[in-house]
Structure 1
Amino acid sequence: MDLEEETVELTKLLSGKMVIHVWRFRAAEVLIEFTDGTRLFVDARSDAIECSVTDGISD
């Protein structure tokens, strides 16, 4: 997936969500949790930014 495609996908996944918490575990890491339980993890330790999203669906 190229950068533009990833940007579009992240926008779709996070559209309309409200932030409840932001954590900084290390200087290059951020975890953002949304009110529905969705989490966005951003890691900038390498020469590129890595993003991952987990959904807020729970059992």
Structure 2
Amino acid sequence: MKKLVFTSVALFALVGSVYTVSAPVAQAQVKKTTPQPAAIPVPTCPANDPNGCGIYQ
């Protein structure tokens, strides 16, 4: 029983250490996109417009 527990703990530690070493490499390859605020149209209606700038039509 002691060998089973020792083997399980050793295997868990080994897998954890391999994961922590390989995780930063995988994250370094992620390509980040920059937000494009110019694609969002600027509202031309006042904030208190009861029609909601035509959104309810």
TM-score by length of 2: 0.25
Give the structure with the larger helix fraction. 2
Q: Highest relative contact order (Cα 8 Å, sep 6+), 1 or 2?
A: 1
